[in-house]
């Protein structure tokens, strides 16, 4: 769905200035077609804490830009490796029962997988469209974590190498889009893995039209998590430079001035007035995130 909305008042003036800065960077292609944004991430990208996806940061950012289409590819609870496997940066290697995809579209059990991508909000769920050994189909799971692959249409039986890489459809359909990566919150203790996964996602794109979001703090973070998050963010900022989206300071500066917000900021946390819970944001918080992504896009060279 194309997300084009009118925004008034002071926020509208900010949006107008950001849009005017962004459009020259997009060139003639922006006139011919809407900007496509592929937003990869976890529950923060999906928009946990707001009533519907229209308040998620990718949707809000698209309204700020104007002629824009946002693909929200956030799955709640996923770590950076799971996100990277859905995006195509990390190979998703599986092994199917019997070593063959049958001629008819019937489920084939998946015996092993390299990354548990069919996982959302702390449990096995979901499905992925894609291709296995050149056969289009759907990778799915039941609540017990039993995976299967079902081809999309009848055809000749296909022998499947052991193991074989499953190619997610979104990884290729969205590869040429402006790509926004916000990953690593759910495995922040494993700093090197987060860095490797984000680097793999960037490498898989084959272009430089991407942004990487700063990882947010949680009020439940232990000292080790705080140190790891700060270290990862410093490394991301150093590596990606103008493509790194600073978020924490912007959110802290947008607090409401209350004693509670002041206490939150003093601890290094996001102000309570912009949060839904210990981590996730409310609509006002996601709007700040959207502004930061749009502003970084505008400033990027």
Token reading at 140: 């799915």
- Whether 151 is in a domain gets the answer yes
Q: Determine the pLDDT at residue 255.
A: 96
> Looking at the structure, do residues 194 and 258 belong to the same domain, yes or no?
yes
Range of the domain at 148: 91-170
Q: What is the mean pLDDT of the chain?
A: 91
* Mean pLDDT score, 85-90: 98
Tally helices (H) and strands (E) across the chain: 11, 15
- Within 13 A of 129's CA, how many CA atoms are on the CB side? 7
Q: What is the pLDDT of residues 120-160, one digit of tens each?
A: 989 999 999 999 999 999 999 999 999 999 999 999 999 99
Domain end, chosen from 170, 194, 218, is at: 170
Burial class (CB in 10 A: 0-12, 13-18, 19+), 126: middle
More confident residue, 6 or 45: 45
Q: Are residues 183 and 156 in the same domain?
A: no
Residue 178, pLDDT > 80, answer yes
Specify if 163 maps to a domain: yes
| CA–CA separation, 84 and 239 (whole Å) | 18
pLDDT at residue number 138: 99
Whether 80 is covered by a domain: the verdict is no
Q: Are residues 29 and 66 in the same domain?
A: yes
pLDDT tens by residue, 61-83: 999 999 999 999 999 999 999 99
* Cα 261 to Cα 231: distance, rounded to the nearest angstrom: 24
Rounded to whole angstroms, the Cα distance separating 210 from 129 reads: 24
Rounded to whole angstroms, the Cα distance separating 129 from 169 reads: 6
Residue 20 predicted with pLDDT over 50: no
pLDDT the model gives residue 301: 53
**Which of 170, 200, 227 is a domain's end point?**
170
The answer to the question of residue 96 being in a domain is yes
Average pLDDT over residues 89-103: 97
Does any domain span residue 86? no
Residues 143 and 192 in one domain: no
**215 and 145 in a common domain:** no
In a domain, 203, yes or no: yes
Give the pLDDT confidence score for residue 195 in this predicted structure.
Answer: 99
Judgement on whether residues 164 and 189 belong to the same structural domain of the protein: no
Three-class SS of residue 70?
strand
pTM value > 0.85: yes
Pair 98, 118 in one domain: yes
Poorest-pLDDT segment among 29-43, 99-113, 133-147: 29-43
144 shares a domain with 45: no
Residue 53 and residue 191 in one domain: yes
285 and 198 fall within a common domain = yes
> Looking at the structure, do residues 128 and 216 belong to the same domain, yes or no?
no
Q: Residues 123, 251: one domain?
A: no
Instruction: Classify burial at 249, counting beta carbons within 10 Å of its beta carbon; exposed 0-12, middle 13-18, buried 19 or more.
Output: exposed
pLDDT at 288: 99
Q: Number of folded domains in the chain?
A: 2
Q: Are 215 and 244 in contact (CB under 8 A)?
A: no
- Residue 161: pLDDT band (50, 70, 90) is confident
CATH number assigned to the domain comprising residue 60: 3.40.50.1110
Domain boundary among 170, 196, 212: 170
- Predicted confidence at residue 91, as pLDDT, reads 98
């Amino acid at each position: 769905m194309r997300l084009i909305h009118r925004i008034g008042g002071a926020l509208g003036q900010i949006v107008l200035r950001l849009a005017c800065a962004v459009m020259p960077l997009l060139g003639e292609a922006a006139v011919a077609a809407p900007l496509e944004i592929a937003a990869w991430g976890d529950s923060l990208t999906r928009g946990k804490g707001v009533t519907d996806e229209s308040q998620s940061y990718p949707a809000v950012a698209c309204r700020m830009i104007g002629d824009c289409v946002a693909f929200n590819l956030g799955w709640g609870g996923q770590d950076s490796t799971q996100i990277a496997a859905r995006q195509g940066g990390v190979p998703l290697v599986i092994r199917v029962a019997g070593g063959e995809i049958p001629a008819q579209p019937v489920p084939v059990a998946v015996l092993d997988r390299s990354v548990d991508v069919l996982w959302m909000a702390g449990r096995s769920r979901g499905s992925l469209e894609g291709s296995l050994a050149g056969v289009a189909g759907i990778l799915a799971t039941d609540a017990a974590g039993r995976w299967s692959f079902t081809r999309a249409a009848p055809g000749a039986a296909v022998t499947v190498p052991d193991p074989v890489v499953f190619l997610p459809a979104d990884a290729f359909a969205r590869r040429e889009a402006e790509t926004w990566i916000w990953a690593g919150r759910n495995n922040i203790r494993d700093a090197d893995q987060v860095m490797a996964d984000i680097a793999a996602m960037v490498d898989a794109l084959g272009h430089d039209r991407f942004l990487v979001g700063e990882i947010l703090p949680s009020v439940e973070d232990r000292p080790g998590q705080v140190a790891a998050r700060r270290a990862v963010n410093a490394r991301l900022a150093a590596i990606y430079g103008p493509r790194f989206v600073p978020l924490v300071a912007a959110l802290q500066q947008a607090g409401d001035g209350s004693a509670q917000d002041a206490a939150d900021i003093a601890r290094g946390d996001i102000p309570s007035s912009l949060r839904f819970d210990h981590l996730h944001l409310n609509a006002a918080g996601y709007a700040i995130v959207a502004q930061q992504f749009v502003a970084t896009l505008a400033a990027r060279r």
